[in-house]
Structures are given as C-alpha cells and as structure tokens.
Structure 1
Amino acid sequence: MKPGHSRVCAKSGGTISQRADIHRISFVIFAFAALGGCEQNSFVPPPPPKVDVAAPVQKAITRYFVATGNTAPFNSVDLVARVQGVLQSINYKDGSLVKQGTTLFTIEPDTYKLKLDQAQAAEAGAQASVKQAEADYKRQVDLVARQAVSQATLDTSTSTRDNAQANLQQAQANTKIAEVNYGYTNVAAPFDGIVSAHLVSVGELVGAASPTQLATIVQLDPIYVTFNVNEQDVLRIRAEAKRRGMTSSELTQLPIEVGLQTENGFPHKGKLDYAAPTVNQSTGTLAVRGVLPNADRILLPGYYVRVRVPFDQQQDALLVPDIALGSDQGGRYVLAVNADNVVEQRKVQIGQVEGELRVIESGLKPDDRVVIAGLLRAIPGQKVDPQLQKIDAPPPPAK
C-alpha cells in the first residue's frame, strides 16, 4: 500500500483507524454510564464499644491492720536438776497437762533430808549455847556491879555470848540452805502447762557438774501472738490514735483477731498487750505482741497465723470490685467514664479487701462511673457506650 492511501474495510466500508476511534468512543460512553449507575462509597466508623460501668459502693466499714505473725507460749521453762543425786522417780506422763505445784521428778530426797536434820540439830545446839552464854553474861554483869569480879571476866563473858549468837545465826543459815536443797529434790510444775517428754531416765545421776535439763513445761492458755508492723503503718495508726484522742496505754489494749491458715475469717479473739518502744532500724518494723485465751489449746506455739487489728470506723467508704483495678509503674488505677462517655484513667490509693470489693482510700468520688467489665475494650481517651450496672454490697466480715 502506498503512503497517503487508506485501507478500506470490505464489510464496513470504513478504514481501520476509523473503526478504532469508534470503539474507543463507545467504551468511554459505556464506562461513564456504568459509573453514573453506582453509588459513591464512604467510610462509616464502628459504634463505640459497650462496657459495664457502676458507681462505687458506699458502706460503713471497720478499718483493719493486717499482718502475718507467729504464736508463742505464754510461759516456757526448762525443768532442771538443781541438786546432785540419782533420779528416783518420774511422776507424770509425757505430754500431759499438769497443775501448778505438781511434783514431776524426785531426786534422791533421803540424803538431803538427813542433811536438813543435821542442820536443824546444829541449830538446836547453837541455841542452847546462846542461852548458856546469855545467862553467864548476866551473872557477870551483876558481879561486876558488886565489884565481886574484875572487868576482864565480864569482857570474856560478853565475847562468849556474842560468839554463841553468831554461831546460832550460822546454824540457822545452814538450816535454811538444807531446807532449800531438800525442796529441790522434788521438781514441781511452776505453772499450769503441758510437760514435754522426759530427757533423763530413772536411776540416772543428775546435777553432777551443772544443772541437768529434765524436761520442758509450756503454758498454752493464754497464748501470745507476735508480729511486726512496718514504719508506714505505725505512723498511720498513731496518727489515727491521736485524732481519736487515744493514749499509748489505750492503743496497746486494742482488740486483736487471729486466724489459722486453714480457717476462714478470724475466729480467735484477744487484745494487744505490748508494743516495742523503738523501731528496728535494720528492718524498719515495730515488734508488737497480742495475748489470746486458748482454753481448748487449738493454737500451738510456732504456728503461722493471720492477724487483724481493727483501729478505726469509716462510715462512707467507697468500694469497687477488686478486678476493676489495674496497675502500672505509677501505682494502682481504675478506668472511669466521664460525662462525655470518654474513658479516663484515675490513680487511686487502695485499702483493705471486703469480700470481692476493694476499699478506695482516695482518687474516686461517689458519683464516678467505674468500668467494671469490658476493661480490654475501654481505652483511655476513647469513647465507649457505658452500660450502667449496680455493684452488690460486700457481705459482712467473717467472724
């Protein structure tokens, strides 16, 4: 085909270029028609997530100091042989409860009874000597007054009388020592308590070189509970006591409640009876002790126990579910929803647990809406759809 000439289509009677132009125009018209028949797309944000919110529970509570402590015996004494001799008898059953004054061990009493008799006989002889010397002295005084004897004779009589009186005092002292040693042959219970297994056997020589331990007696009723209070709690409790006008003696008479690790609540009741006068600088704690009745001997020395000391009454405490609390490097917090339904993070100071609720000391107001469920959907700074709920009041504390 020569340049400048067009190729003619046999069927349409037009050139190839003309047919291509017609197709392009038809496509453009169809595309515009298609676009004109469709709606324009636009982004629609999802609705705010639903979360459960509730106002804090207001309730009168008793504020407690809670610690972990140990039980300790009210009295514990090692029974020892204070005289030398052969152990003659053991007069109790190992582990039995005995009354004060009960004889527990007998150590060769006959020998010390003879020594006591000997001392008493010596004392009687000394008393006779004193009577004789006193009578002779009076005679010599009378004779000297009548100038029948010399003054030297009276001086000798006076010396004899004084020596006799001194010998009598020595004999009396020896008698008392013999009585004490004879009393030591019977080892008695110094108080009501439980006696441990005996550590020596009948027929064994005891007290030969040094006091020999025979057994241990422990008093379990009442019983002590010892625990430590950290410095921050000491300051808080003392400040509260000062606000209420309590004296130091009244503070050491606060009630105390104790529970074993396997018990519910704090069934054992007593009172504080001692607080150390100084804080231990190495631990930053104050040693405190309570005393409890233990007639049934449920509490044994050495137990780990839970200790609770009530020290204040609060009439309008705020409580939220413990699961609503979060924590970060800044401390504890809750998520609250403001008036615009935007989530806010509130830093709070927490107190004790009441059932499944936690006391909030500061950081919340009674009308705040706290997120109690759906915490993962509540993001600080974003809106939510709050669903108002009600928090059940905590049950009364276990007794």
Structure 2
Amino acid sequence: MKLPSKSIPLKCSKRIALFFLIVVLLAACDEKNTYVEPPPPKVTVAEALQQDVIDYLEFTGNTRAYEEVEIRARVSGFLQSMHFTPGTRVDMGDPLFVIDPREYQAEFNAAQAALNAAKAMQHRARIEYDRAKRVFDKGAGRETDVVKWRGELDVAQASIERAKAKVERASLDLSYTRVAAPISGRVSRNFVDVGNLVGEGEPTLLTTVTRYDPMYVYFNLNENDLLRVMKMYRKRVKEKGYDPDKVSDSEAEIPLYLGLANEEGYPHEGIADFAESGVDPATGTMELRGVFPNPDTPTVLLPGLFARLRMPIEKRENALLVSERAIGADQGGRYLLTVNSENVVEKRPIRIGQLVDGLRVIETGLKAGELVVVNGVQRARPGAKVDPERTEMKSLMVSVLQDASGQGGQSSPPAGGSAKPETADTASPQGFDGAAGQTEVGAAATGEAKSD
C-alpha cells in the first residue's frame, strides 16, 4: 500500500518540469531577431588642392652635334705624319696630318717658273711694241710691225694670267698636303695609318672633328601638339614684334628642357631654334630642333643620346590636384570617389593631366571644394555612407616627395624615368591612359589595401 503513495510525487515533479519547459519555449518564441546595421567605414578625405600649374608638352628625341666635319684627303699621296692625339680637343687651324708634299712642291716651283717666263715674254713684247710704234710715228716704219708686236704683247699678257692660275692651283694642291682642323672640337681616331696612300681616286676619310658646345636635339611633334606650339609661337612673335620671315625662330625664345635616361627630371635648359617648313604627310609630324648649352668638361651631352624633352605651353590658374592614391580605374576609365554633405560616397569619372610635385592634375570631372577619398578607397562604395576624417591635400604631397626621395637611393629608377616625383612628369600624358598607367594605379591600390 505504500508504493502508490510514493509514485504520486514523482509524476507531479515531471509535470512541473514539463510546464516550466513549455513556459521557457513560449518566452523564447516571443523574442524578435532584429538586424543591427554595422557602423560606416572610416575613410580619409581631403579637398582638391588649387594652385597655378604650367601645361607641358613632352617628347622624345636624339642629340646631334652642333658641328661635325669629316676630314678627307683632297690630294693623293702617301700619308707622311700625324700631329694629334685621338680623342682630344683641337682648335681651328691646328695641324692634323701631312701628306708627302714633295711632288706638289715641284709642281708649284714649275708653275712659278712658267709665270716668270711669261712675264719675261711680256717685257720683251712691250719693248718691241714701243720701238715699232716710235718708228712708225716718225714715218720710217711699217704698220704691220706695230700690229705684230701689239698682238705679241696681248699674247704675253694672257700667258701671264694662265701662268698665275697654274701657280694658284699648284699652291692650293701644296697647301692641301698639310691637313688642319677646320673647326674647334674633339678629334676622332685616325682612320688611316701613316705610310698609306690616300686620296687616290676618291677623297679618303682621315678623321672627324666634332663640336659639342652647344648641342642640338631633334624631335618630332604630332599635329595636335604642333597646333598648340604654333599658337604659343604666334603669341610670342606678337609680343616681341619681329618679322619671323627675316629672323630665326630662336628669337621667340621658346624654352625647352631636356633630361637624359639616367637623370632626374629635366636639368638642361635650352630653346627651340628651328622647325621644318611643313608636316610630313607620311608620318603626320613635323621635325623641330632645340639647342642646349654644353660647356662642361668632360661634356655631359654627346651626339646620338636619347633625350626626354619638355616644353612649357601655357600657365593655367587654379588647377585642381589630388593624390594619385585617390585615383581608381575600371573598364569605364579613371574615376574618383567623393563624399557629399550627407557622407554618401559618389563616383566621379575624370580625365587626368600631368603630375606636379606628387599630385595629379584633374582636367575634368571634379569641382573645387569637393571632398575626395584619399585613404580607404577599398572600403568606400558608391551610394554607401562612410565616416569621413578630413586631412589636407598638401600633407599628402609632402609625404609623396619624402617617400620618393627616400626610394631614390635604394633602387634604380625604371627605364625612361626616375624614382622622384619630378621624373613622373617625364611620362607621356597618353601613357597614363594605357597599360602602364593602369599598373601604376593598381600598385597604389595594393599598397593602400595593405595599409588598411
């Protein structure tokens, strides 16, 4: 009879436990699963820097000597001696070679003797003519004698002129045996050794003399760039007030800057001094020439070097500049991300210009005063909100210059450029729209993602 009395509390406890379980489940069902929006990502923004910039045209060209003379044998003979050290400087008039002069000295002596004989014949003819004339005037002589000696006198005078010409020719040939430098400059090696026969059948090349100071640079302009240069040229001609048909193009004093492949920026300054008469229809370009001082010893500019050139075209006021790290690229082209007054990101297609002190000029697509995302571009999405933190664009310019100067001594610059920002200016503006430009932006984006 005790067993039933003990089973009643056990059943009650199970019912109580089940009741509490149902209550807990019902309470849990009453709670709602609501979405909590994450905070907007933090980005750094800055207003585009406004400053005056100078638009440049950039080209490539090749240096060429201001003067270069081939020294050739003008008479035939055996090379007797050489009077210079190859690769050194010579001045105008310095002796270079001597060709055996004995044959030409003999010819000169013979010509001189023939001249003296002609003068003697003239003297005799004049005496005979004067005597015949006096006798004829007294009526004791014949007129035929006068005419005869008058003719002999004229023939003798002509013989003298012919003999003088032979003497002059012999003197020239004799002078050609002593080969002198026609200009001042650097003399090349001797192409013919002493003792060889030269000038037989053709003028043998003996050596060359090259003048390095100043130095010419030849380059080509496409039609669009040419039209801009012509506009600037007309403006300068009008300002200076001279006749371009009578005065050299150098009077316009159009500045030109040059940099070699291993140099930073454009350290050499010169002027454009010549342009061809028209555009080559085969290439659509016109050849121009610049001239650059080259007084250093040893010389810095040599003929035949590849040269990067930059020509200032016009000054533009209040241009907008942004950091290159802010510029993105996709299939639609270059773009910037801006933040409006509601902290919403907007995408702006842009067209970029030249690089100035580490900042890129924005030609179109951006207005003054707009906030540009300069750090955190990977976290910003068009149409989404962000948490902007403002900075100054100038501070980014300073950091870029410091980074560039630090890298300059650590790694060699790429071909045609340099690690410093000034050298980034050497790239052609069209190049930033191609593969090279996309690679540069991609590298900047990768570095930014790592820093984030």
Q: Which TM bucket (shorter chain)?
A: 0.7 to 0.9
Answer whether contact 2:250 2:271 (CA < 8 A) is retained. no
Q: Is 1:208 matched up with 2:210?
A: no
Structure having the larger proportion of residues in strand: 1
Q: Is 1:270 matched up with 2:270?
A: yes
The structure 2 residue matched to 1:366, chosen from 352, 365, 368, is 368
Structure having the larger proportion of residues in helix: 2
Q: Is 1:336 matched up with 2:338?
A: yes
Structure 2: distance between partners of 1:329 and 1:260:
35
The match for 2:385 is 383
Structure 1 SS opposite 2:393: coil
Structure 2: distance between partners of 1:351 and 1:137:
92
The match for 1:17 is none
> Structure 1 residues 63-72 or 321-330, which shifts more?
321-330
Answer whether contact 2:250 2:272 (CA < 8 A) is retained. no
Structure 2 SS opposite 1:377: coil
Structure 1 SS opposite 2:52: strand
Answer whether contact 2:54 2:315 (CA < 8 A) is retained. yes
Task: Go from structure 1 to structure 2 and tell me whether the alpha carbon gap of 1:197 and 1:230 turns closer, same or farther (over 3 Å shift).
Answer: same
Correspondence 1:310-349 to 2 at 5 A: 310-328=312-330, 330-349=332-351
Structure 2: distance between partners of 1:123 and 1:330:
89
Letter of the 1:225 counterpart: V
Aligned-residue offset at 1:385 = 2.9
Structure 1 SS opposite 2:394: coil
The match for 1:302 is 304
Aligned-residue offset at 1:29 = 6.9
Answer whether contact 2:101 2:177 (CA < 8 A) is retained. yes
Residue deviations 1:43-95 (CA, integer Å, cap 9, x gap):
33333333222111122333322222221111112211110111010101111
Structure 2: distance between partners of 1:346 and 1:136:
109
Which has the higher relative contact order, 1 or 2, with Cα contacts under 8 A spaced 6 or more apart? 1
Answer whether contact 2:250 2:273 (CA < 8 A) is retained. no
Residue deviations 1:299-352 (CA, integer Å, cap 9, x gap):
111222222222333342221112322344554332222334333333333322
Correspondence 1:1-399 to 2 at 5 A: 33-35=26-28, 38-242=30-234, 245=238, 249=249, 253-296=253-296, 297-328=299-330, 330-392=332-394, 394=397
Structure 1 SS opposite 2:190: coil
Structure 2: distance between partners of 1:120 and 1:352:
73
Structure 1: distance between partners of 2:185 and 2:279:
33
Task: Go from structure 1 to structure 2 and tell me whether the alpha carbon gap of 1:228 and 1:239 turns closer, same or farther (over 3 Å shift).
Answer: same
Structure 2: distance between partners of 1:190 and 1:338:
72
Residue deviations 1:148-176 (CA, integer Å, cap 9, x gap):
44444333233222222221111111111
Answer whether contact 1:252 1:275 (CA < 8 A) is retained. no
Structure 2: distance between partners of 1:52 and 1:78:
65
Aligned-residue offset at 1:241 = 4.3
The match for 2:416 is none
Aligned-residue offset at 1:392 = 1.6
Structure 2: distance between partners of 1:365 and 1:250:
40
The match for 2:409 is none
Structure 1 SS opposite 2:40: coil
Structure 1: distance between partners of 2:194 and 2:168:
28
Aligned-residue offset at 1:182 = 1.0
Task: Go from structure 1 to structure 2 and tell me whether the alpha carbon gap of 1:132 and 1:326 turns closer, same or farther (over 3 Å shift).
Answer: farther
Identical amino acids, percent of aligned pairs: 41
Structure 2: distance between partners of 1:168 and 1:231:
63
Residue deviations 1:345-393 (CA, integer Å, cap 9, x gap):
3333332211211122333222122221222233334333332221127
Task: Go from structure 1 to structure 2 and tell me whether the alpha carbon gap of 1:30 and 1:74 turns closer, same or farther (over 3 Å shift).
Answer: same
Structure 2: distance between partners of 1:256 and 1:72:
16
Structure 1: distance between partners of 2:333 and 2:233:
28
Task: Go from structure 1 to structure 2 and tell me whether the alpha carbon gap of 1:327 and 1:125 turns closer, same or farther (over 3 Å shift).
Answer: farther
The match for 2:444 is none
Structure 1: distance between partners of 2:302 and 2:268:
13
The match for 1:19 is none
Structure 2: distance between partners of 1:89 and 1:355:
59
Aligned-residue offset at 1:105 = 0.5
**How many residue pairs are counted as aligned between the two chains?**
377
Letter of the 1:271 counterpart: I
Task: Go from structure 1 to structure 2 and tell me whether the alpha carbon gap of 1:120 and 1:267 turns closer, same or farther (over 3 Å shift).
Answer: same
Structure 2: distance between partners of 1:382 and 1:135:
121
The match for 2:7 is none
Structure 2: distance between partners of 1:335 and 1:241:
39
Task: Go from structure 1 to structure 2 and tell me whether the alpha carbon gap of 1:146 and 1:171 turns closer, same or farther (over 3 Å shift).
Answer: same
Structure 2: distance between partners of 1:250 and 1:204:
46
Q: Over the residues paired in the alignment, what is the CA RMSD in angstroms?
A: 3.1
Aligned-residue offset at 1:293 = 1.7
Structure 1 SS opposite 2:266: coil
Structure 2: distance between partners of 1:163 and 1:314:
80
Task: Go from structure 1 to structure 2 and tell me whether the alpha carbon gap of 1:149 and 1:351 turns closer, same or farther (over 3 Å shift).
Answer: farther
